[in-house]
Amino acid sequence: MMFRTIDWKIADDTGHLVLNQPPANIMTRLFFDELGHLTKHVIPDSQLKALIIYGNGRHFSAGADHYELTEHIRENLPGNYPEEIPSFLKENLQSFLYLDQLSVPTFAAIRGTCFGSALELALSCKYRICGEGTVLGFPESSFGLMPGCGGSVRLAGIVGKARAIELIVSGRNFSAEEAYHWGLIHKILPRKVVIEETIILAREISNRRVNPSVVE
Amino acid sequence: MASHFIQEGALGILTLPGTGGNYLEQPDFTDVDWLRERFSNTGLKGIIIRGSGRHFSAGANLDKLKKLAGDETLLFHRMTAGKKLIQMIAAAEIPVVAGISGVCFGGGLEIALACHIRVCSEKALFAAPEANYGIMPGLGGTVTLSRLIGPGKAAEMILSGDIVNAEKALALGLTDYVVPDRDLHSFTLDYLNKMTADRDTAVIRSIMKSIHHSQTMDFESALEEETKLFCALAVSHLKNKE
């Protein structure tokens, strides 16, 4: 299966999910559709020991295009809204939840920018490894919106309510160093080695999990 | 003994009772309906709770509490009212920041724990001293403290009754910021103003609801509710543009 917005490959039992619309790797509708397909039909049939998510090029991703997103909501409001919400939003939620509940270690290897839905995607992974100089944030409130795919719930679960309120209400950017201090990310590395080091880390952790003899 | 409430721009400032050494004369430290009315002001984007004068709050006045304990029904009634106040603060749909100077003990600590964010002066002191008097926190403190700093550290602080200074409070996660004593109020105002400036009240309320859900609902329900809240904002956004 070929995707247009995602580069998917398996190497050494590790799945590589690469956001592939450089330079900003914007998470378009097509991206979410392809992510849905990947999480429903491809990953469950792959015998993965680990999964790594990263962006092609300098950036992880600048997040969703909120103009496109709100337009798409307008065009797809169900007849019984607000009891029901557009089905594509539920699908997105399911894709992220699938990653969240995956029974192998999952890693977001983050370089450059990681905003909005991209940060929601990263929060759906178990480990977040950042390159030096990475900038993160939930800027939705500055567009009159809020995170819509688990960001506020997941962030509060990781850094506590106080920090989550501060970051999501203000919408301010923050650095990898701040995020590390709050326990939001696990490691900061020189940006050139982020992907390769994450691959090594994924291999170490997953091998230990499935094959204890490696540790001995 | 009354608390008082003023509005500065889009922020509300609740000052706890200041007479008699900053003790809380009753578990229901202010009138429930009075506070509900203040909190439901839809023009507000945030609330600061602070003490009167040098201290945030010294907690319950023990003599008054002993007298109150003589009447079991009245004690229960007053504790229930006190819990309603605490719950009102915790469930507020705009950010509530505690600006803590001086002592923050017992019931005062429980008020601070009900707030969403805590800023304290470098001279602030925290304690849950109830066990020293053969009682225990009664306004939710065992639950809120455990949630904030973990059950192990909470047990240590509540069982020992020991005083925790600002530096240790920051390390424990009991406070979010420590600032010089003289800057406490200006920092807190500035912090909340910066956070909420240019933010629509509907956006603030939706975000707060969702973050509350992260604690009050199971994970998947909280996720669904968030998407609903997001969708409502997106739809109202589109309507405004038309």
The answer to whether B3 and B19 are in contact (CB under 8 A) is no
Q: Residue B242 and residue B237: Cα distance in Å, rounded?
A: 9
> Do B191 and B224 have their domain in common?
no
Q: Which of residues 6-65 of B touch A (CB under 8 A)?
A: none
B103-105 and B125-127 beta bridge pairing: parallel
Return the pLDDT at A212. Answer: 43
CA distance to partner chain B, nearest, from residue A71 (Å): 8
Is the predicted pLDDT of residue A24 greater than 80, yes or no? yes
Asked whether the beta carbons of residue A161 and residue B226 sit closer than 8 angstroms, the reply is no
Question: Using 50, 70 and 90 to split pLDDT, how confident is the model at A83?
Answer: confident
Contact of A97 with chain B, judged by CB distance below 8 Å, is answered with yes
Return the pLDDT at A214. Answer: 38
**Average pLDDT of every residue of chain A:** 93
CA distance to partner chain A, nearest, from residue B31 (Å): 26
> Do B66 and B14 have their domain in common?
yes
Asked whether the beta carbons of residue B214 and residue A161 sit closer than 8 angstroms, the reply is yes
> Do B133 and B147 have their domain in common?
yes
Asked whether the beta carbons of residue A164 and residue B199 sit closer than 8 angstroms, the reply is no
Task: Tell me the chain B residues in contact with residue A81 when contact means C-beta distances shorter than 8 Å.
Answer: 231, 235
Return the pLDDT at B3. Answer: 86
Return the pLDDT at A211. Answer: 46
> Do B140 and B206 have their domain in common?
no
Q: Residue A205 and residue B234: Cα distance in Å, rounded?
A: 40
CA distance to partner chain B, nearest, from residue A131 (Å): 26
**Closest Cα in chain B to A167:** B195
Return the pLDDT at A216. Answer: 33
> Do B205 and B91 have their domain in common?
no
Q: Residue A165 and residue B45: Cα distance in Å, rounded?
A: 13
CA distance to partner chain B, nearest, from residue A147 (Å): 7
CA distance to partner chain A, nearest, from residue B183 (Å): 19
The predicted-structure confidence for B88-125, as pLDDT tens digits, reads as follows 999 999 999 999 999 999 999 999 999 999 999 999 99
Asked whether the beta carbons of residue A148 and residue B227 sit closer than 8 angstroms, the reply is yes
Asked whether the beta carbons of residue A146 and residue B206 sit closer than 8 angstroms, the reply is yes
Return the pLDDT at A207. Answer: 76
The predicted-structure confidence for A41-53, as pLDDT tens digits, reads as follows 999 999 999 999 9
Q: CATH number of the domain that B122 lies in?
A: 3.90.226.10
Q: Residue A96 and residue A93: Cα distance in Å, rounded?
A: 5
Question: Using 50, 70 and 90 to split pLDDT, how confident is the model at A208?
Answer: low
> Do B119 and B234 have their domain in common?
no
Does the active-site annotation cover B167? no
Digit-by-digit pLDDT tens for chain B (242 residues) are 578 999 999 999 999 987 767 888 888 888 999 999 999 999 999 999 999 989 999 999 888 898 999 999 999 999 999 999 999 999 999 999 999 999 999 999 999 999 999 999 999 999 999 999 999 999 999 999 999 999 999 999 999 999 999 999 999 999 999 999 999 999 999 999 999 999 999 999 999 999 999 999 999 999 999 999 999 999 987 777 65
> Do B41 and B149 have their domain in common?
yes
Given its phi and psi angles, is residue B21 left (phi above 0), alpha (psi -120 to 50 degrees) or beta?
left
Question: Listing from the earlier edge strand, what are the strands of the sheet with B46-50?
Answer: B4-8, B11-15, B46-50, B96-100, B117-121, B177-179
> Do B79 and B188 have their domain in common?
yes
Selecting among B130, B156, B226, B242, the annotated active-site residue is: B130
Q: At what angle do helices B219-241 and A66-75 cross, to 10 degrees?
A: 90
Selecting among B8, B37, B93, B110, the annotated active-site residue is: B110
Domain that residue B230 falls in: 201-241
Q: Which residues contact A130 (CB under 8 A, 6 or more apart)?
A: A110, A111, A136, A176, A179, A180, A185, A187, A188, A189, A194
Specify whether domain A6-214 bears CATH 3.20.20.10.
Answer: no
Count of domains forming chain B: 2
> Do B56 and B134 have their domain in common?
yes
SS3 A181: helix
A72-79 average pLDDT score: 90
The answer to whether B105 and B137 are in contact (CB under 8 A) is no
Question: Using 50, 70 and 90 to split pLDDT, how confident is the model at A19?
Answer: very high
Q: Which of residues 117-136 of B touch A (CB under 8 A)?
A: 117-118
ipTM: 0.95
Return the pLDDT at B20. Answer: 66
> Do B40 and B150 have their domain in common?
yes
Q: Residue A135 and residue A60: Cα distance in Å, rounded?
A: 10
pTM: 0.94
B7's enclosing H/E stretch is strand B4-8
Asked whether the beta carbons of residue B207 and residue A70 sit closer than 8 angstroms, the reply is no
Contact of B198 with chain A, judged by CB distance below 8 Å, is answered with yes
Smallest Cβ–Cβ distance between B214 and the set A85, A152, A170 belongs to A152
Is the predicted pLDDT of residue A137 greater than 90, yes or no? yes
> Do B43 and B147 have their domain in common?
yes
> Do B19 and B116 have their domain in common?
yes
Contact of A214 with chain B, judged by CB distance below 8 Å, is answered with no
